[in-house]
Amino acid sequence: MCRQEKIEIFTPKGEKYKYKGPLKYFEKRLSKDKFLRTHKSYLVNLDYVKKISSYYNE
């Protein structure tokens, strides 16, 4: 049995859309210069990233 992934898309205007299918579908179609896969479950629009911090203390 094939399990479909449930994707939620959030817009800057606060809208939320739902999609059933793999996140790879969007990853392949969105600009690699603007979107980063930060985790197997997240694609992030870099235009809205204010700061990146290390999780581990160095």
pLDDT reported for residue 2: 58
pLDDT tens per residue across span 10-56: 998 999 999 999 999 999 999 999 999 999 999 999 999 999 888 77
Using alpha carbons, list the distances in angstroms from residue 29 to 12, 19, 23, 53, 54. 19, 15, 10, 27, 28
Predicted local distance difference test score (pLDDT) of residue 4: 73
Cα 37 from Cα 40, distance rounded (Å): 7
Interatomic CA distance for residues 2 and 6, integer angstroms = 13
pLDDT score of 57: 65
Q: What is the pLDDT of residue 58?
A: 59
Is 39 strand, coil or helix? strand
Full-model pTM: 0.72
Query: What does the pLDDT read at residue 56?
Result: 73
